[in-house]
Structure 1
């Protein structure tokens, strides 16, 4: 049992990050359970880097460094899904048309501009976190994003019987539910940002069902990226709300 779970964990790490691990038995269906735990590992890494370097680097350079490492290790994969989602929404048309746009390797001008302002916003948010000393938000941000993507998977069917979305959802939904135990501290530490992420998931659920007929790998990635952004933004806003 432990060996099987270890292989599932290695499968998740090797698939969702650039960390060079090679499981003997690849099992993404079981490995999705560990997605929030991977977020906690990544967040811990970013937190330690910020803690070590915040006294030596200006916030501008440290924010750029953290984002570069974040996207290199994991989020480049999800950012691609975010751009594809933005492109499909800009393209319009019926469900089949949008699913076709999701599969295309190139993106349009609308998606490019959306990606540019999304990254600019993330940079400014990260810089603001560093300047305010809110390093724990950096720790929990990847967890919030991965919890959002696993949560939305519980309420939608795959848009197609192929691809990452189908593979992600082919595992046990009970395991997906159990994976949310890793996110329980979020409700205690950051109730307002967590509520905002839950509201985002609810809105995306209706949007994905209406515009795409279900869930896909690109839409899972878009959910993750948007949830991280919202979690950080609302965390910063909530610090300005009087207790």
Structure 2
């Protein structure tokens, strides 16, 4: 049952095909959506590490990382953000908004939102790359923060369409989403630490653009880490609150696009907050 629920959620939010047989059961999407955030986080971690070993241009590294992440995990979520922009940035009625959300075409508002989202993420990842050697575990947890926000949407609003994809999460509970988020952070921290140590052993101290764990300056890191951790944990909930309110006021409830928009915005907030805190601290 646990594997069925995990794979059911994974199959909904990833382009990676699931080759093993499972019984579809999305009843615990609230828990497993943040947990699945570990997968893109680990993917970003490994791709970043590999690229840093062969090239030195931060922006190019960031763009390649995002291409890989979006191809494997984020395209559906980006579509949700773009559909939300088309539906809510224009002055139209409820029925027109619902029609826009169902329309596969992209309008000018959607194009703008998608372009802004990807451009800002590329710029932020590029700017944060020099900090990876000290704060990689927190910085690269942005896919977990985003999916935590997506998991909270059904806890804050009811489905606008009882027969839609978003209604699969209609029985979501906030405590399960929080538990999934905390579980994801623990799993991610252990995995990242293990791969970081392995990379240091294999390649030496120059991993992810800087010295590995043994050379950390703890006097500089310790004062910033709690503030950084607390701020980043709020990124997902803030995105969820915003989209739950927008969808509730305009449509009377959320759709699957709301989850995607919250995930994309939560990821962007995570990176933005990290950049602001580390820039001020520096």
TM-score of the superposed pair, with normalisation by structure 2: 0.77
| Residue matched to 2:144 | 143
CA distance in 2, matches of 1:167, 1:222: 17
How far off its partner does 1:184 sit?
6.3
| Residue matched to 1:118 | 117
Q: Which has the larger radius of gyration?
A: 2
Alpha carbons of structure 1 residues 183 and 38: separation in structure 2 relative to 1, 3 Å: closer
How far off its partner does 1:172 sit?
6.4
* Residue segments in structure 2 that go unaligned for 5+ positions in a row: 190-224
How far off its partner does 1:217 sit?
0.3
What does 1:1-243 align with in structure 2 at a 5 Å threshold?
Answer: 4-21=1-18, 22-57=20-55, 58-133=57-132, 134-170=135-171, 175-176=176-177, 178-182=179-183, 190-242=229-281
Structure 1 ranges of 4+ moved more than 6 A: 184-187
Which stretch of structure 1 is more off in the superposition, 194-203 or 71-80?
Answer: 194-203
CA distance in 2, matches of 1:173, 1:205: 13
How far off its partner does 1:129 sit?
1.7
* Residue segments in structure 1 that go unaligned for 5+ positions in a row: none
Aligned length: 240
Alpha carbons of structure 1 residues 194 and 15: separation in structure 2 relative to 1, 3 Å: same
Alpha carbons of structure 1 residues 24 and 123: separation in structure 2 relative to 1, 3 Å: same
Alpha carbons of structure 1 residues 85 and 126: separation in structure 2 relative to 1, 3 Å: same
Over the aligned positions, Cα root-mean-square deviation in angstroms equals 2.4
TM-score of the superposed pair, with normalisation by structure 1: 0.88
Matched position secondary structure for 1:240: helix
CA distance in 1, matches of 2:174, 2:109: 35
CA distance in 1, matches of 2:126, 2:179: 34
How far off its partner does 1:175 sit?
4.0
| Residue matched to 2:217 | none
Any idea what the Cα deviations from partners look like across 1:200-226, whole Å, max 9, x if unmatched? 332322222112211110111001000
